[in-house]
Amino acid sequence: MIRCQDLSWGAPGQALTSPLTLELESGSLTAIIGANGCGKSSLLKVIAGLQKPLAGQVTLSVPRQSGVSFLPQQQHLDRQFPISLQELVAAGFWGRRLSTQLRAQRLAAALEAWHLNGLDNRPLMALSGGQLQRALLARLSLTDSPVLLLDEPHAALDELGQQLLWQHIHAWHAEGRTLVVVCHDLAAVRQHIPKTLLIKNRICLYGASAELIQQSPHMQVA
């Protein structure tokens, strides 16, 4: 469960929206949509505990440190950092005690599931945008966190990558995990995500995805 109570966020003294009070049930799948700069990514960071709110609070039914996994936008990743794709993906095991054999099996399965075979030892600088995004998603898939927060997970993905993404999102949802997804593909939100939080004109609206998107068919989101 994720509960926002009178929540405000943004730069000091510059709240991006009116206070938000919202409760997302455990096992729910929710999109966050809205125009560029409206506060979608910032809200996700506040929920993740990576950014402090201006006012109000966020309450989670799980501890943030062990129960929440956050997928950042890839531009926030330092491509100069001297690690390979395999090492990046394996970071998804952080904090988990697994045997060497089980880790190797699960890592191999994740690389195959995200079509990253043969790229194991490639440095981050040598990856395309789509390859890097699939590596970040593969890292996420190795966590066992009950809450998954995804900031524009479809970025840089081609058609196959997007198919893999939605397959995994539905699989995670079927496992009973709670997912919140910042997304600017309104057609995909309408098709794949039942509930949406729309941030528009500094107001937050929550409801059925199809209904909210129908109200704002020409909205530019990014």
The model's pLDDT over 114-132, given as tens digits with 9 standing for 90+, comes to: 999 999 899 999 999 999 9
Residue 187 lies in a domain: yes
User: How many angstroms separate the Cα of 86 from the Cα of each of 82, 100, 105, 119?
Assistant: 12, 15, 13, 8
Residue 101 lies in a domain: no
Q: What is the CATH number of the domain that holds 208?
A: 3.40.50.300
Residue 124 lies in a domain: no
Q: 181-207 pLDDT, tens per residue?
A: 999 899 999 999 999 999 998 999 999
Helices 159-174/129-141 angle, 10° precision: 10
Tokens of 144: 């066992």
Least confident of 87-96, 142-151, 156-165: 87-96
Tokens of 94: 């952080």
Residue 18 lies in a domain: yes
User: How many angstroms separate the Cα of 168 from the Cα of each of 42, 106, 171, 187?
Assistant: 24, 15, 5, 18
Give me the domain span that covers residue 198: 2-81+144-215
Residue 122 lies in a domain: no
pTM of this structure? 0.91
Distance CA 28, CA 26 (A): 6
Domains of the chain: total: 1
